[in-house]
């Protein structure tokens, strides 16, 4: 099978197309022929080893001291099950699925094996393979922080910094679904897109002050790490919350203490990758509540270009890589044959 591998940290030039043996599923695994994957912020961080100041050593402990521990990137995918292990009963060959290997990586390839009871769920028929691949990373992060960790309530006011990215665009949609009043922060060029996702008010960080004097929110969410506590605290009501999805090192370690001293709360940590969260966001997408934003789509042979676009820091939503476009057509043809029978 074709895959993209890297053996050192750095620019998109460190990834190389390689040919590897097709994996064989274990008794409790399924083999998926990947239709589409993405280049996510997680892939960018793992490939470049770009970490918040002071966390470089921690990054190497996570990803590999002298070089990448996991040579194939890719945090999310959609595809069709090619084979099932002997003990698998919840999936069968031909099922269209959405998978979220997350920190385990491995989706920048033509095939991947996944535990049948792991972070894998059926792909709804009304979602394309390309959009399906773009759901897990951003949406599960947004859902876990807003719903599980911060417990955003109907009627609350929320400021979302980095609202046009993969996580931020999902935050806007999930917050509106929960009944919040959403103020989104992004560049002026993305303002209309973010309004279309449901934002009630948009702040262009290039021309406006993100923190406006006299305006406070129940919750401030930073998805990109450019709104430190020292600045954000002025925009949070007493008893309100700062949701730190990305941030500076001092806020990650000392933010909770800083917030408590100010009579406020800091919500941080690592996003959960639990299967229940994946199923929840896929259900929202099937209902039309959540629409993953796709900035650009690339062919598998253009994987380096996809990485290069993510490296610019200017992507909107998600960057999708089509791995096997025949999966969708083949599955649709199979359905047609069954209808005729």
Per-residue pLDDT at 132: 98
pTM above 0.85, yes or no: yes
- The pLDDT, as a whole number, for residue 56 is 81
Residue 301: CB partners within 8 Å, gap ≥ 6?
17
CA distances from 40 to 212, 265, 318 (A): 31, 29, 7
pLDDT beyond 90 at 160: yes
Domains of the chain: 2-134+293-340 (3.90.180.10), 137-267 (3.40.50.720)
**pLDDT tens-digit map of 170-207:** 999 999 999 999 999 999 999 999 999 999 999 999 99
Residue 318: partners with Cβ closer than 8 Å, 6 or more residues away: 38, 40, 134, 137, 138, 166, 292, 293, 294, 295
In this prediction, residue 326 carries a pLDDT of 66
């Amino acid at each position: 099978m074709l895959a993209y591998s890297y053996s050192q940290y750095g620019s998109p030039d460190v990834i190389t197309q390689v040919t590897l043996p097709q994996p064989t599923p274990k008794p409790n695994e399924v083999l998926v022929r990947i239709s589409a994957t993405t280049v996510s912020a997680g892939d960018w961080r793992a490939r470049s080893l770009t970490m918040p100041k002071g966390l470089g050593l921690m990054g190497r402990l996570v990803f590999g001291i002298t070089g990448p521990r996991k040579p194939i990137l890719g945090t999310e995918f959609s595809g069709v099950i090619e084979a099932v292990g002997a003990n698998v009963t919840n999936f069968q060959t031909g099922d269209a699925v959405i998978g979220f290997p997350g920190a385990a990586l491995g989706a920048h390839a033509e095939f991947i094996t996944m535990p049948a009871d792991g972070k894998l769920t059926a792909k709804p028929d009304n979602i394309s393979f390309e959009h399906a691949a773009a759901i897990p990373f951003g949406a599960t992060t947004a859902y876990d922080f807003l719903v599980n960790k911060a417990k955003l309530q109907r009627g609350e006011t929320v400021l979302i910094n980095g609202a046009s990215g993969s996580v931020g665009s999902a935050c806007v949609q999930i917050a509106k679904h929960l009944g919040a009043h959403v103020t989104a922060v992004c560049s002026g060029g993305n303002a209309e897109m973010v309004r279309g996702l449901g934002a009630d008010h948009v702040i262009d960080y290039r021309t406006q002050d993100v923190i406006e004097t006299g305006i406070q929110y129940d919750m401030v969410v930073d998805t990109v790490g450019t709104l430190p506590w020292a600045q954000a605290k002025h925009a949070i009501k007493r008893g309100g919350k700062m949701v730190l999805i990305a941030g500076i090192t001092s806020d990650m370690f000392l933010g909770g203490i800083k917030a408590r001293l100010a009579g406020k709360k800091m919500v941080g940590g690592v996003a959960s990758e639990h299967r229940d969260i994946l199923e929840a966001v896929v259900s929202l997408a099937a209902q039309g509540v959540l629409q993953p934003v796709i900035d650009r789509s690339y062919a598998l042979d253009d994987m380096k270009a996809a990485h290069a676009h993510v490296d610019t820091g200017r992507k909107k939503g998600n960057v999708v890589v089509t791995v096997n476009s025949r999966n969708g057509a083949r599955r649709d043809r199979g359905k047609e044959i069954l209808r005729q029978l």
